[in-house]
Amino acid sequence: MFLRPWRATSLVALCLLLLLMLATCTSTSPLAGSALYVQQITSSPQEFSGQEITVDGAYLWRPGDPTISVLALGVSTLDNGLDAEPLGEAIWVEGFPAEVTEHLHRPGDAVYGFVRVRGRFDSGGSFGPNGQFQHQLTITSAEPIERIRRVEHRIEDQPLGEGKVSFFELQRNPQQYHEQTITTRGYYFWNSVIYVLAEGVSTEEGGAGPQPLGAPIWMEGFPPDQSANLNVGPNNSFVWGLVEVTGRFQTGGGFGRDGAYESVFFVESAVALPQ
């Protein structure tokens, strides 16, 4: 739904067309109880300023400095679902319920999805952390228009046999295997930003938006020829799947992206396994 910018833009156009058709058939007054859409509000902000309104739009929350929490026409992303950006003029959002975000897209660096929200709309100010937004919506209630369901794929916590170390044993006793060459199994995950071995991967139904589960181990040197035997995203935007790897293990912290990983695995050989 949001995986590619062109799909996001097309979906927004479709949603706007449907909403315009509904607006033609019903009253667009916020007092009449029908939902508005974002462009309708941002094109005539003074008509709605100071009122309690209901709005359909794409919510985007992106942690960072500054944090982004906005309602927009839609969201464009890279093929792997990362680097989400709002489309069109956005409305700053205050008080979006955390429990609703559990039902939206969660690719790893943001949360986004189409929602119906109700709250007080204000315009003409300087809203948001840097005051860059002209409009604000203070939420009193919210619900997802589409509920995203996720599927988990996990390895079992059991011995792998002689000469091999289970992923869970490696996590429980990392110092015992520090600077050793070992063979283990787990779920390899790559999305051009992170390269890890994890106890599992969760995806949206249909396979989109994969994310590693548990406490992953940073990976270096996974052979590209084995990636072709795993689950590969559109335009090679992500790779994930069950693998058996042999390599040198190190622990002690400071590894990988931003030094956020406790351990690292330098791969010497790897093979994709059936799932």
SS3 171: helix
Instruction: Please give the pLDDT value at position 267.
Output: 98
The enclosing H or E element of 76 equals: strand 74-76
Count other C-beta atoms under 10 Å from residue 98's C-beta: 8
pLDDT band at 212 (very low <50, low <70, confident <90, very high): very high
Name the DSSP class of 228: T
| Rounded distance between C-alpha atoms, residue 198 and residue 213, angstroms | 6
Q: Which residue has the tokens 């029908």?
A: 34
Statement: residue 21 has pLDDT above 60: no
Dist. CA 227–CA 270, nearest whole Å:
10
pLDDT at 174: 97
The yes-or-no verdict on residue 31 having pLDDT over 70 is no
pLDDT in tens, 159-207: 999 999 999 999 999 999 999 999 999 999 999 889 999 999 999 988 8
**95's tokens:** 């008080």
Give the whole-angstrom CA distance, residue 248 versus residue 223.
15
Question: How much is the pLDDT for 126?
Answer: 92
What is the mean predicted confidence (pLDDT) over 261-275?
95
